[in-house]
Chains A and B, each alone.
Chain A
Amino acid sequence: MTEAALRIEGLCKSFGSLVATDDLHLDIAPGEIHAIIGPNGAGKTTLIAQLSGELRSDRGRVSFAGRDITSMSMPARSALGLARSFQVTSIFQDFSALDNVALAVQAQAGHSFHFWRPAQKDPRLQDPAREALARIGLGDRGDVPAANLSHGEQRQLEIAMALATRPSLLLLDEPMAGMGRDESRHMVDLLQGLKGDHTIVLIEHDMDAVFALADRITVLVYGRAIATGAPAQIRADRAVRAAYLGTESSTDIGDA
């Protein structure tokens, strides 16, 4: 049996009396796209925050490629090859799109105690950054301040930054949120292209995207995983239909 890319064992997180993550067990296989779906407030973002190290878990264990990362800081996890994107766009608003990505490249290029040479003229940062931007479809938007990008472009920049850290595991929190139809389709194509090279944990409300991309799906309700399985299995699952998907339509999942 191959080792799980990410192993989650008995993970818990409460906010006061509210249980956001409730004794979660989950193995993410290397190279798979594992979608996590669930209604608003199910604890999806909280889980991403725990996995990325932004939030400290109350209990449980997270291992990444066989390594216990439960008490590791966010930067340390990132250095191991774990990257995330944010549901609420989190970019460097006052930097150009290119500089945003170049910063992500720089993060993986050793320490940054270099005080002399201008970073913005360094091809070792600029070239990979340009490449990442082009790959995501922002090739001609590099010089635009991130704040002036459209919402959809900012969402793309989110992903470009995560990719530029050359991660093996991507935690994507609703990458298509608020995107137009074409942008969404482009994103689906992109994620499809990443498959194989990257393990992806995908949180997404767009069910078309989820069922098109996911190898497996976990359904989260009130912090609990009520089902995990292949898309067809999930679609057919009685408990899932009752709790979440609604009886008649598998694409109706309510608002984002």
Chain B
Amino acid sequence: MNRQQIWISLITLTLFAVVPPLTVLFDQPFYLDMFARIMILAIAAVSLDLILGHGGMVSFGHAVYMGIGAYAVGILSYYGIDNGFIQFPLAMLASALIGLIFGAMSLRTSGVYFIMITLAFAQMLFFLAISLEEFGGDDGMSAARSEFAGLIDMYDGVQFYYLIFACLALVLYLLHRLVLSRFGMVIRASRSNEKRMHAIGYPTYRYKLAAFTIAGTICGLAGALFANLNEFVSPDVMHWTHSGEIMVMVIMGGIGTLIGPVLGASAFLLLEEYLPEWMEMVMTNGGEHWAIVMGPILIAIVLFGRGGIHALFASRGKIGVKQND
């Protein structure tokens, strides 16, 4: 975390902040929805970056916490509890709890086993959601938007947008502080050399578990917002491919930079939206084959774009080891 990252964060947030007036000015309400979606996925990606980028924990089932948050809102709404002041804390509490349980078990392993076990836990809940006929099974369920005692009207696109914006800004700020704190130092150093951490006296497990739980909680917030955005919840949100997409956003944007994953989420969702259109222009039915282009773009970024999109803006030689040079 350095000065540059702070500047990139401020500029990015400013750009997000001016989207609503622009969409009104140019009468393009679609973009309001588009960027709301981007910011929600950005929250999820930033939360993954905490444990993946800073903590070195390759959690391959992170979308499951979005699912928990989304289902918490959906299920509460199903039972007539639409109050956001109840829904959001419960959504985050539920994701925290699941994060704590899954983390407690997954963090006993490492390396490829950790990847597999986090994936397995996520799949477990995915299939559980499918089996819940009461809540729509694999068709999913609709969910009314939350009510905030008349303070925020979630059906007002602009108000909803700024709520998401505030959540993203707050999450970025809190995690920025966290990463630089004593706790953050422990998390980052554990990624760097865990054996040394043990030798100088850190029981790293509890710190990693705390980070894992925090990441799950924040991702649960993204899920609660996601349910509101779609007015709908389905098991797809927890599908492993969705976890994979969130991870791609992190890597694409710049792992371990917090703001990078926000850029990654933007790039990923915009490409997903417009690549089919562009390909349609180039060749007939090209739109159906957009993944053929998306795939190589992602591979190129991973292979050649060390540091991701973030590195394009940050000056060279500022990534990784040479950070303080």
- Listed in ascending order, the chain A residues whose CB lies under 8 Å from chain B are 52-54, 73-76, 78-79, 83-84, 86, 90-96, 99, 102-104, 106-108, 112-120, 122, 125, 143-145, 147-148, 161-162, 164-165
Contact A84 B199 (CB under 8 A): yes
Contact A94 B199 (CB under 8 A): no
Interface string of B180-219 (1 = CB under 8 A from A): 1111111011001101111111111001001000000000
B182 to chain A, nearest CB (A): 4
Contact B183 A90 (CB under 8 A): no
Residues of A close to B325: CB separation below 8 A: 145, 148
**Which residue from B188, B207, B210, B323 sits with its C-beta under 8 Å from A145?**
B323
Contact A119 B321 (CB under 8 A): no
25 contacting pairs across A/B (C-beta < 8 A): A54-B195, A73-B203, A75-B198, A78-B199, A78-B201, A83-B200, A86-B199, A90-B199, A93-B192, A94-B320, A103-B186, A104-B201, A108-B201, A113-B183, A113-B207, A115-B184, A116-B177, A116-B181, A119-B184, A119-B185, A120-B180, A120-B185, A122-B182, A145-B321, A165-B201
Q: Which of B148-176 contact A (CB under 8 A)?
A: none
Residues of B close to A94: CB separation below 8 A: 192, 320-321, 323
A49 to chain B, nearest CB (A): 10
Q: Indicate whether A75 sits within 8 Å of B201 (C-beta atoms), given known contacts A90-B193, A95-B192.
A: yes
Contact A119 B199 (CB under 8 A): no
In angstroms, Cα B199 to Cα A79, docked, is 10
In angstroms, Cα B322 to Cα A125, docked, is 23
B14 within 8 A of A: no
In angstroms, Cα B325 to Cα A122, docked, is 22
B178 within 8 A of A: yes
In the complex, how many residue pairs between chain A and chain B have their CB atoms under 8 Å apart? 112
Contact A73 B198 (CB under 8 A): yes
Residues of A close to B185: CB separation below 8 A: 99, 102-103, 106, 112, 119-120
Residues of A close to B178: CB separation below 8 A: 115-116
B324 within 8 A of A: yes
Known: A54-B199, A75-B204, A112-B207. 8 other contacts (CB 8 A): A79-B201, A86-B196, A93-B193, A94-B321, A103-B200, A112-B186, A145-B324, A161-B200
Closest chain A residue, CB of each to CB of B207 = A112
Instruction: Report, nearest first, the 3 A-B pairs whose CB atoms are least far apart.
Output: A78-B201, A107-B201, A74-B198
> Which of A73, A75, A120, A165 counts the most chain B CB atoms within 10 A?
A75
Residues of A close to B192: CB separation below 8 A: 92-95
- Listed in ascending order, the chain B residues whose CB lies under 8 Å from chain A are 177-178, 180-186, 188-189, 192-193, 195-204, 207, 210, 320-325
Contact A112 B202 (CB under 8 A): yes
Residues of B close to A74: CB separation below 8 A: 198-199
Q: Indicate whether A104 sits within 8 Å of B200 (C-beta atoms), given known contacts A115-B177, A115-B183, A119-B184.
A: yes
Closest chain B residue, CB of each to CB of A78 = B201
In angstroms, Cα B73 to Cα A3, docked, is 63
In angstroms, Cα B199 to Cα A162, docked, is 9
Residues of B close to A93: CB separation below 8 A: 192-193, 321
B49 to chain A, nearest CB (A): 16
In angstroms, Cα B137 to Cα A171, docked, is 59
Contact A91 B196 (CB under 8 A): yes
Residues of B close to A52: CB separation below 8 A: 199
In angstroms, Cα B182 to Cα A83, docked, is 21
Q: Indicate whether A75 sits within 8 Å of B203 (C-beta atoms), given known contacts A94-B320, A96-B324, A143-B324.
A: yes
> Which of B186, B201, B325 counts the most chain A CB atoms within 10 A?
B201
Closest chain A residue, CB of each to CB of B175 = A115
